[in-house]
Structure 1
Amino acid sequence: MLKQTPEQEDSNSKARKMVIGYPFALIFIGMVVNWLAFGFDPISVAMPDKLSIIGIIIAAVLLLANHTWLMTSTELTRIDHGLLTTPEEWAEKNREKADAAQAGWDALERRHNAHRNTTENTVYFAILAGLTLLVSPPAYLVLVWSVCFGVSRLAYTYSYFAANTDLRGIFMSLTLLPLYAMAGYLFVAMMMSF
């Protein structure tokens, strides 16, 4: 490992503090928005209201559009760069992976990373939104956070494909904010129920 200069060590220390503080800042923002815009109520298990269902439907359609964009872009990248999917396809075409240009592999990796990140975040969204639906949240809470999540995922995909790191960071934060906000709401509602 290369020895770092004091300036590099100081920069790394600041970066580590920012990375550690980042989720706590998003949790705080989500909780403040919940408190100011929606309030908190104790858990009361009931069928979801119409606005909450509308929010989930909008988010589902946006997430399906995002998935369609990701899978289509991935396949077009394979076609454009002559990349095949399985060892059988490479053998059938009598080609080797080493024959493909590195630029193609890099473009494909970008799509795979975007797809993987979307899948990881969507799992948590589904769990948190599903639970939030069942605890009789305040009007608009699920609608707002679900639409925010769906729109942010589309914008994240765009910024990832456009290789715009700053924009990608903003939309990653706007994707995480609804997750932390719903988790925070559930936690406070649970604590109020005791």
Structure 2
Amino acid sequence: MFQVQEGRPVPDIEQDARKRRLRLVVIIYPFALTLIALAANLFLFGIGPLAMALPSQEVLAVLAASAVLLLVNHSWLMTQTELTRSRYGLYATPEEWQAARKERAKASAEGIAEVERCQNAHRNTTENAVYFVFLAGLMAFVTPSFPAVVAWIGGFGLARLGYTYAYLSGRSGLRGAFMSLGLLSLYGVASYLVLALLH
């Protein structure tokens, strides 16, 4: 933004300062979460040497519970997307628009925005779940500390449900908190594996 001063545009110093602070937060954010995860692993959960073994029944139970939560989350997002399309008379493909004899260009802007909200939440969940599957699968086979499994693997599934609720209900602050918890879980598993490898 610019303010006009003496007939010339002058950069809005406050706006520039806010942008610099935001950039700094965005850059520091993943490093801060990683440090929190490292500290939790070192001081709360304890790290043993990396030892491959079949997962214990308790670890499998947490992994299965988290997988079920992720499936519930996927089903919720899938269902909400279709209900939103139905509510606003929107379609998923050009063929469906054609079969309904409707034009996407004449569709409700609010409806399109709400379907995009559902799709963005679904996309974000899928992107995070890919990393989770690989990391949690590895963690389950390295005789991990059970409290770490509960916090990181169990926490991820709960965080994703919270994220979906916050995103679909338009609660940005809450969405950011659950996004941070989900990422903290991912960084927790990753840092646990690295620390165990270096032990």
TM-score by length of 2: 0.92
Name the larger-Rg structure: 2
* Pair 1:105 & 2:94 matched: no
SS at match of 2:51: coil
- Alignment match, 1:134: 141
Higher mean alpha-carbon deviation, 115-124 vs 133-142, is at: 133-142
Could you give the per-residue CA deviations for residues 133-187 of structure 1, whole angstroms, max 9, x where no partner exists? Answer: 1111122322321111111100100100111111100000011011001100111
- Alignment match, 1:165: 172
Distance 1:166 1:4 in 2: 29
- Alignment match, 2:190: 183
* Pair 1:76 & 2:76 matched: no
Could you give the per-residue CA deviations for residues 25-56 of structure 1, whole angstroms, max 9, x where no partner exists? Answer: 11111111112221111111110112211111
* Pair 1:148 & 2:159 matched: no
- Alignment match, 2:101: 94
Contact kept, 8 Å, 2:153 with 2:189, in 1: the verdict is: no
- Alignment match, 2:68: 61
Higher mean alpha-carbon deviation, 42-51 vs 115-124, is at: 42-51
Structure 1 segments unaligned to the other structure (5+ residues):
none
1:106-121 residue pairs with structure 2 within 5 A?
A: 106-121=113-128
Aligned partner (choices 48, 67, 74) of residue 41 of structure 1: 48
SS at match of 2:115: helix
SS at match of 2:128: helix
Q: How many residues align?
A: 192
SS at match of 1:140: helix
Identity of aligned residues (%): 47
Structure 2 segments unaligned to the other structure (5+ residues):
3-9
Whichever residue aligns with residue 135 of structure 1, its letter is V
Aligned partner (choices 27, 45, 55) of residue 20 of structure 1: 27
- After superposition, the Cα gap between the structure-2 partners of 1:42 and 1:4, relative to the gap in structure 1 and judged at 3 Å, is farther
Deviation, structure 1 residue 118:
0.3
Contact kept, 8 Å, 2:59 with 2:149, in 1: the verdict is: yes
TM-score by length of 1: 0.95
Contact kept, 8 Å, 2:84 with 2:115, in 1: the verdict is: yes
